[in-house]
Amino acid sequence: GAGVSQSPSNKVTEKGKDVELRCDPISGHTALYWYRQSLGQGLEFLIYFQGNSAPDKSGLPSDRFSAERTGGSVSTLTIQRTQQEDSAVYLCASSVPFLSYTFGSGTRLTVV
Amino acid sequence: GESVGLHLPTLSVQEGDNSIINCAYSNSASDYFIWYKQESGKGPQFIIDIRSNMDKRQGQRVTVLLNKTVKHLSLQIAATQPGDSAVYFCAENGSGNTGKLIFGQGTTLQVKP
């Protein structure tokens, strides 16, 4: 597509529930990234996929967070047993390796 | 550890004036730097980038300056407009040639009419 697409744009969930966030990168972009942005804060790196290489999971805050990328394209970020501190905007970006990212508009997650 | 920081959290300028947003980076191995603009409710958007073999690069109304000696990056916006109001992030590629960017905390630019 023309840009990075994320869905849903907003998600409200109850504490303890699992959520899945989806990212559709730009066609041909082999690198895909997930970041988290809390209100008024900077960008916190979560996970990075590059081609067929093992993903860089060094930013995942706990084992409740996981992500996968199927067929080198669409990615899903899963948060299990959500907590209130998980409330944030989750941003996905894609790129041709070693060049600038193109970000999606993000998914605003609210855990109540 | 690696970090990219911004000198001021908020910058307020008058419409029509020039804006300068500063960024300090700590990793001397970084050789690629980018400025992003994030408007409220949107994802960050690419503004301009620069590689370490350059010290200045110009775009439309924007200029990025890189001073490798003091590890300083700045974004200059000419004739600032209300539509420039946003949070601006600098980013560097760090060491290890991973393709992963390290982002600063952001500077909020407020343009007064």
Residues of chain A with a CB closer than 8 angstroms to some CB in chain B: 4, 31, 33, 35, 41-43, 45, 48, 50, 56, 91, 93, 95, 97-98, 100-106
Give the HSE-up count for residue B95: Cα atoms under 13 Å, Cβ half-sphere: 7
pLDDT 10s digits, A33-89: 999 998 877 899 999 999 888 999 999 999 999 999 988 799 999 999 999 999 999
* Residue A51, Cβ density class (10 Å: 0-12 exposed, 13-18 middle, ≥19 buried): exposed
More confident residue, B8 or B18: B18
Q: CB–CB of B41 and A105 under 8 A? A: yes
Structure tokens at A102: 């193109």
For residue B78, the distance in angstroms to the closest alpha carbon of chain A comes to 23
Residue B71 CA to residue B110 CA, distance in Å, equals 26
Whether residue A2 is predicted with pLDDT greater than 90 in this model: the reply is: no
For residue A73, the distance in angstroms to the closest alpha carbon of chain B comes to 17
> Residue B90 — φ and ψ, nearest 5°?
-100, 155
The confidence band for B5, taking pLDDT boundaries of 50, 70 and 90, is low
Closest CA to A10 of A111, A79, A83, A85: A111
Q: CB–CB of B43 and A106 under 8 A? A: yes
